Amino acid sequence: MDATVITQQEDLANLRNVPKSPRCSTSENLLNLNIKEHYEIIKELGRGTYGKVVLGRCKETGTQVALKVLPKTNVKLREFQREFDLSYFLSPHSNIVDTYNVAFETKSSFVFAQEFAPVGDLFDKITPQQGMSEKDAKCVIRQIASALDFMHSKKLVHRDIKPENVLIFDHEFSKVKLMDFGMTRKDGTVIRKVNGSIPYTPPEICEAVRNESITVSTSCDIWAFGVLLFCMLTGNFPWENADISDVYYNEFTLWQRRKSTKLPSQWKKFTPRLMRLFRKILDPKGERRCEIKEICKYLNDSWIQPCKNSDNEEEDMASGSDHMDELSNILQNHGIETHMDKACARTQNIGMVTVIIAYIIILHYSLFPFHLINSHKLYTNRKMLT
């Protein structure tokens, strides 16, 4: 029987005619595909500085996936491959988002596929000025601490811990996962500061100027983890920047360093046991911060002080006077002279200046944290990609 001879040209033509599949494309061997030929795009899940995430249904398998789309104008091939490889390497952990071995490019973008979280991210589960229940917060914190402990054991630093990067898979928070490893670097790597500071940025990075060299450290994740915990339990940020020019941060560091015995008012809802943890993870000196596994020692403790309803009028007046004194000090630190007559205020002989200060109290203690957390949401533009 004569054997059929296939020429090299015919062999190449046959290969070109084989249908391309995203499942046959990896970061080392990127296929150039048309995303809409292989996925039905259902909706956009998020958009950030470097790209977007869309929900797609694979036409070949019917599986819903989150497609991370990074424009080539914003991301180099090497950067894309690093993020994909790290995401895929870390995904076996139960509290890290699962990254599929599917990566391809289009004419304008690099794309890879991850599992879809139907409930969304943690940010939308934190009620402004109220936060989450202690039970739910502990459930989330335990799982994210496990994910970070795994990363740190591999000498990797996430560098972008915040609610937007925590995915929720059910309303009971029994399954949450850490995502977005675009900023992840090895512990000890020296990089340049290119971005501004946000409330999760540790003080050692806040102090650095733009383009100054900084060393990546797991202690940066510990700090951000502590700020995340505060946000989850209060619905507010503890400060705007971890810098001594920030009044709220300055108050906390005075207490943290034991230079003041007065606990700032926004921390008074927490038990002494939880404050002991905060003292360890929010130490201004990175080398003194505890490891992430330290959180496990505090999960069975009470974190929130029981509510106290005071019927004592003198107690309430004293509390109000303390707030006035505190506000007066804050205003004076900012160069604003209040000229407030404290004796007059105690006798409730309130003049126009006191009315103005009372209004500032309402604005400062109630509205400001609300605007701060929501303005940050606008600032990040639901920043799932950083």
Residues annotated in a binding site for ATP: 68
N-term to C-term CA, the chain: 63
Distances (CA, A) of 23 to 26, 122, 126, 158: 8, 30, 37, 27
What is the rounded CA–CA span in Å between residue 331 and residue 351?
18
**334 is written with which tokens?**
């900012």
What is the rounded CA–CA span in Å between residue 321 and residue 310?
15
Distances (CA, A) of 349 to 123, 159, 278: 44, 52, 41
With vertex at residue 332, the alpha carbon angle to CA 331 and CA 337, rounded to the nearest 5 degrees, is 95
The residue to which tokens 């990127």 are assigned: 30
Residues annotated in a binding site: 68
DSSP state of 96: B
DSSP state of 108: S
With vertex at residue 244, the alpha carbon angle to CA 186 and CA 137, rounded to the nearest 5 degrees, is 60
What is the rounded CA–CA span in Å between residue 318 and residue 126?
32
CA 47 remoteness from chain centre: 15
What is the rounded CA–CA span in Å between residue 24 and residue 5?
28
What is the rounded CA–CA span in Å between residue 161 and residue 180?
9
What is the rounded CA–CA span in Å between residue 66 and residue 182?
16
Residue 103, SS3 per DSSP:
strand
Catalytic residue among 98, 121, 149, 160, which?
160
**160 given a catalytic annotation:** yes
> Sign of the CA dihedral 350, 354, 360, 361?
negative
Residues marked active site are found at 160
